[in-house]
Chains A and B, each alone.
Chain A
Amino acid sequence: MRTILFLIQKEFLQIRRNKSMLPIIFVLPIVQLLILVQAATFDLKDVHFAIVDQDRTPTSEALIRDFSSSPYFKTSAYCMSVEEATSKLYDGTAGMAMVIPKGFSRSLVEGRGDASVQLLVDAVNGTNAGLIQAYSTRIIGRFSLHQATSNPVVIPEAFKPVTLTVETRHWYNPELNFKTFMVPGILVLLVTIIGFMISGMNVVREKEIGTIEQLNVTPVKKYQFIIGKMIPFWIIGLFELSLGLLVGKLVFDIPMEGSLWLIFLSAAVYLIVVLSMGLLVSTMSDNQQQSMFISFFIMMIFILMSGLFTSVDNIPDWAKVINTFNPVAYFIRIMRMVLLKGSEFMDITHELLSILGLAVLMASLAVWRYKKTT
Chain B
Amino acid sequence: MAAIDIQNIVKTYGEKKALNGVSLSIEKGELFGLIGPDGAGKTSLMRILVTLLLADSGTAAMSGHDVVTDYKTIRNITGYMPGRFSLYQDLTVEENLNFFATIFGTTIKENYSLIRDIYVQLEPFKDRRAGKLSGGMKQKLALCCALIHRPEILILDEPTTGVDAVSRREFWELLKSYKNEGITTFVSTPYMDEAGLCERIALIQDGHIMDTDSPDEIIRRFPLPLYTVKASPMTEVLHALRSFGQAPQVWIFGQEIHFVASEHDISEDKIRQYLTDKNLKVDKVEIITPGIEDCFLWNMRKS
Question: Is there contact, CB below 8 Å, between B100 and A218?
Answer: yes
Interface centre among B54, B75, B88 (most CB of A within 10 A): B88
Say yes or no: A217 contacts B90, CB within 8 Å.
Answer: no
Q: Let me know if B102 is at the binding interface, CB within 8 A.
A: yes
A71 within 8 A of B: no
The smallest C-beta distance from A169 to any residue of chain B, in angstroms, reads 57
Seen from chain B, the residues whose Cβ lies within 8 Å of a Cβ on chain A are 50-54, 71-72, 75-76, 78, 80, 82, 84-91, 95, 99-100, 102-105, 129, 145
User: Assuming the A-B contacts A217-B51, A219-B75, A219-B76, are A10 and B105 also in contact, with contact meaning beta carbons closer than 8 angstroms in the complex?
Assistant: no
Give chain B nearest CB distance to A212 CB in angstroms: 8
A349 on the B face (CB < 8 A): no
Cβ A219 vs Cβ B91 within 8 A: no
The total of interchain contacts (Cβ-Cβ below 8 angstroms) comes to: 71
Q: Mark A1-44, 1 if CB is under 8 A from B, else 0.
A: 01100110010011001100000000000000000000000000
- The answer to whether A324 has its CB under 8 Å from any CB of chain B is no
Nearest residue (CB) in B for A374 is: B53
User: How far, in Å, is A19 (CB) from chain B's closest CB?
Assistant: 10
The distance from the CB of B61 to the nearest CB of chain A, in whole angstroms, is 16
Is A209 in the interface zone, CB < 8 Å from B? yes
A168: interface (CB < 8 Å): no
Check: A304 CB closer than 8 A to any chain B CB: no
Query: Assuming the A-B contacts A10-B91, A14-B90, A218-B75, are A210 and B102 also in contact, with contact meaning beta carbons closer than 8 angstroms in the complex?
Result: no
Q: A3-B103, A6-B103, A210-B82 are in contact. Are A217 and B75 (CB under 8 A)?
A: yes
Alpha-carbon separation in the docked complex, A105 to B86 (Å): 85
4 other A-B residue contacts (CB within 8 Å) besides A10-B91, A14-B90, A17-B90: A10-B99, A214-B86, A217-B78, A218-B104
Asked whether A219 and B78 contact (CB < 8 A) given A6-B99, A17-B90, the answer is no
CB distance A210 to B86 under 8 Å?
A: yes
Interface of A is mostly: helix
Decide if A2 touches B102 in the complex (CB within 8 Å): yes
CB of A219 within 8 A of CB of B88, answer: no
A70 interfacial by beta-carbon distance below 8 Å: no
Q: A3-B103, A14-B88 are in contact. Are A216 and B76 (CB under 8 A)?
A: no
Task: List 17 contacting pairs A-B, 8 Å CB cutoff, sorted by A.
Answer: A2-B102, A6-B103, A10-B91, A10-B95, A10-B99, A13-B90, A14-B88, A209-B88, A210-B85, A211-B87, A213-B52, A217-B51, A217-B52, A218-B100, A219-B75, A373-B53, A374-B53
Q: What's the Cα separation between A86 and B129 when bound, in Å?
A: 68
Please encode chain A, from 355 to 374, with 1 for each CB lying within 8 Å of some chain B CB and 0 for all others: 00000000000000000111
Q: Residue A3 contacts which of B50, B71, B90, B102 (CB distance < 8 angstroms)?
A: B102
* Contact A6 B102, beta carbon cutoff 8 Å: yes
What number of A residues sit within 8 Å (CB to CB) of B? 23
CB neighbours (8 Å) of A372 from chain B are 51-52
CB distance from A207 to the nearest CB of B (A): 11
Cβ A219 vs Cβ B105 within 8 A: yes
Do A219 and B103 have beta carbons less than 8 Å apart?
A: yes
Q: Report chain B residues within 8 Å CB of A220.
A: 103
Among B54, B89, B104, contact of A219 (Cβ-Cβ < 8 Å): B104
Q: A176 within 8 Å of B by Cβ? A: no
Q: How far is the CA of A220 from the CA of B103 in the complex (A)?
A: 6
Distance to closest chain A CB from B249 (angstroms)? 39
Minimum-distance CB pairs A-B, first 6: A210-B86, A214-B86, A6-B102, A17-B90, A217-B80, A218-B103
* Nearest A residue (CB) for B99: A10
Pair B90/A211 contact, Cβ less than 8 Å: no
Is A298 engaged at the interface, CB distance under 8 Å to the other chain?
Answer: no
- A7 CA to B51 CA in the complex, in Å? 22
- Given A18-B90, A211-B87, A211-B88: A217 in contact with B50 (beta carbons within 8 A): yes
A215 at the interface (CB under 8 A from B): yes
If A6-B102, A219-B76, A219-B105 touch, whether A214 touches B52 (CB-CB below 8 Å) is no
Q: For residue A6, which residues in chain B have a CB less than 8 angstroms away from its CB?
A: 99, 102-103
CB distance from A206 to the nearest CB of B (A): 9
Instruction: Check B52–A374 contact: CB distance below 8 A.
Output: yes
| Inter-chain contact B87/A214, CB cutoff 8 Å | yes
Q: Chain B residue with minimal CB distance to A221?
A: B72
Q: Using Cβ atoms and an 8 Å threshold, which residues of chain A touch B54? A: 373-374
Selected from A2, A18, A373, the residue in CB contact (under 8 A) with B71 is A373
B76's nearest neighbour on chain A, judged by CB, is A219
Cα–Cα distance between A7 and B100 once the two chains are bound (Å) = 10
Q: In the complex, what's the smallest C-beta–C-beta distance from B281 to chain A, in angstroms?
A: 51
Q: Is the CB of A13 within 8 A of B103?
A: no
Chain A residues within an 8 Å CB radius of B82: 210, 213-214
| Cβ contacts under 8 Å, A14 to chain B | 88, 90-91
Contacts of B129 in A (CB 8 A): 17
**Which residue on B lies nearest to A19, using beta carbons?**
B90
- Inter-chain CA distance A158–B145, complex, in Å, is 99
User: For the complex, what is the distance from the CA of A17 to the CA of B103, rounded to whole Å?
Assistant: 21
CA gap between A13 and B99 in the complex, in Å: 11
| Chain A, 179-232, CB within 8 A of any chain B CB | 209-211, 213-220
Q: With A216-B52, A217-B75, A218-B104 given, is the CB distance from A209 to B86 under 8 Å?
A: yes
The answer for the CA separation of A374 and B89 in the assembled complex, in Å, is: 24
Closest to A18 in B: B90
With both chains docked as a complex, state the minimum distance between the C-beta of B71 and any C-beta of chain A, in angstroms.
7
